[in-house]
């Protein structure tokens, strides 16, 4: 088994980061609704803004992955 290059490692890490980001977004949405229910509209608006930024982050990470040649073939992540 050959040693993975740093770039290969990055191509393996990027999809994981996007996946984690998605699970955080799910959590954010849940708590955003709770904040709204509690009448904390300004706080909810800030969480909503954070969500939008996370979506932009995902787009940037996916673009970086694409530029590096996409996911490493044969590497399955859970």
- pLDDT at residue number 18: 94
- pLDDT at residue number 69: 95
**48-69 confidence digits (pLDDT tens):** 999 999 999 999 999 999 999 9
| 15-19 LR contacts (CB < 8 Å, sep 24+) | 15/65, 15/71, 15/77, 16/77, 17/61, 18/58, 18/61, 18/62, 18/65, 19/77
Rg (CA), the chain: 17
Q: What is the pTM of this model?
A: 0.78
**Domain ranges (residues) in the chain:** 39-66
76 vs 33, higher pLDDT: 33
């Amino acid at each position: 088994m050959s040693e993975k290059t740093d770039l290969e490692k990055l191509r393996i890490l990027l999809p994981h980061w996007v996946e984690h980001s998605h699970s955080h977004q799910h959590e954010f949405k849940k708590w955003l609704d709770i904040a709204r229910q509690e009448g904390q509209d300004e706080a909810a608006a800030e969480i909503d803004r954070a969500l939008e930024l996370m979506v932009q982050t995902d787009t940037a990470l996916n673009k970086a992955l694409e530029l590096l040649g996409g996911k490493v073939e044969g590497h399955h992540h859970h």
